[in-house]
Amino acid sequence: MATIKDIAEKAGVSMMTVSRAFNNPKIVKDEVRVKILAIAKELNYLPNQAARSLASKKSGMIQIITRMNPDDFYFTQLFTGAAHYLSDHGYSMMISKDKTREYQYDGAIFMGLLAGEDQVIYHTIKKPYVLLGKTDLPIDWVDIDNTDGSYKMTKYLIDSGHKKIGLIGINHDEAFTQERYLGYVKAMTAAGLTIPKEAVFRVPHSIEGGRRISPIALAKKDITAYVCESDLLAYVLIDYAKEQGMSIPDQLSVVGFDGFLFNKMSIPHITTVKQPVYRVGVEIARVLVNRINEHDRPKQRVLIKTEFENGGSVKVIN
């Protein structure tokens, strides 16, 4: 492996000039710099990151901390997105399930925290880091714009001519469910429609939860469309309706949220908003690198918009 010393000797300059030619090219005389770079290429020079790290006191390492299931679709997409961005920007990375303190690192990305853990992190971690998911603390974070997503879905139903629109929500105590609910309310209100309270439900996010509520939801005969807070719930509702001999979307329109798998499992496919998870991963890495490069920049809060995907589960009335 060639080193800057080899290059320096061959070019008749000092090691420092070689170092500058790479890291601060402007301050090296053109002629000298060109010569140095030529020799570097000739010798197949590759900078030794370890030595660079040691001298500059930067590890070049990013920790990814998560308790998500390793082969979970959501996590793998997220992680790969971050990995691509970090690699492109000269950072290498390690995943750890929990502890932040096994290796030295320049920055960290937290994905899939439990409630309240943002507090702990905020008071513990002194290095740059980013969270996946909102928090009120003065911390950089990136999240999906849930409100906008379900607003778009609801608005799409309204624009398709629906007026009596119910909601099948998720009864988790997590922010994203309330945000999706809020999007529904906003769209309804903006259109001057009344929210049919007897057709607004909150259920456990599971097939079982969906199965229990489906007959009750279908019993509301004047409701022509349901906004579901996930594709899973939409899938189960459609499945049940078809079992009962109903035709979708002719007799009932349904929209979902997620765009991972369930939207394509039903026939017709579910009209939904897709979470661009890979891009969220890229974005969260970008925010972290920004923070590392500029410690004092204002806090970054990034909301990623979902993407509309027409599956055919909505009837256009007009």
The verdict on 76 binding its own copies (CB under 8 A) reads: yes
| 34 closest CA partner among 45, 50, 48, 22 | 22
Backbone angles phi, psi at 148, to 5 degrees: -60, -40
Q: How many CA atoms lie within 13 A of 225 on its CB side?
A: 29
Residue type, 192: G
- List the one residue from 38, 56, 190, 215 that touches DNA (CB under 7 A): 56
| Partner from its own copies, DNA, none binding residue 4, C-beta < 5-8 Å depending on class | DNA
Smaller CB separation from DNA, 5 or 301: 5
Q: Token pair of 275, please?
A: 């979470």
Our CB check for its own copies shows the closer of 213 and 277 to be 277
Dump strand ranges (E) for the chain.
61-66, 92-96, 107-111, 129-132, 141-144, 165-170, 200-203, 225-228, 253-255, 272-274, 301-304, 307-309
Q: Is 92 in the site for DNA (CB under 7 A)?
A: no
Nearer to its own copies, 189 or 206 (CB): 206
Q: Cβ contacts of residue 111 below 8 Å, gap of 6+?
A: 64, 65, 66, 68, 75, 78, 79, 132, 284
Minimum CB distance to DNA smaller for 29 or for 172: 29
CA distance 214 to 267: 17
Question: Using CA atoms, how far apart are residues 107 and 89, in angstroms rounded to an integer?
Answer: 13
Task: For residue 94, state whether it binds its own copies (rule: CB under 8 A).
Answer: yes
| Shortest Å, Cβ 90 to DNA | 11
Q: Which stretch binds its own copies (CB under 8 A): 80-88, 185-193, 209-217, 218-226?
A: 80-88
- The label of the residue with tokens 């022509």 reads 224
Contacting residue, 1, 123, 136, 221, with its own copies by CB under 8 A: 1
Least distance in angstroms from the C-beta of 40 to DNA: 10
Chosen from its own copies, DNA, none, partner binding at 115 (C-beta under 5 to 8 Å by type): none
Q: Which two tokens stand for residue 204?
A: 């456990």
- Choose the binding region for its own copies from 14-22, 127-135, 259-267, 289-297 (rule: CB under 8 A): 259-267
| 293 near DNA, rule: CB under 7 A | no
List of residues contacting DNA (CB under 7 A):
1, 3-5, 12-17, 19-20, 22-23, 26-29, 32-33, 45, 47-48, 51-52, 54-57
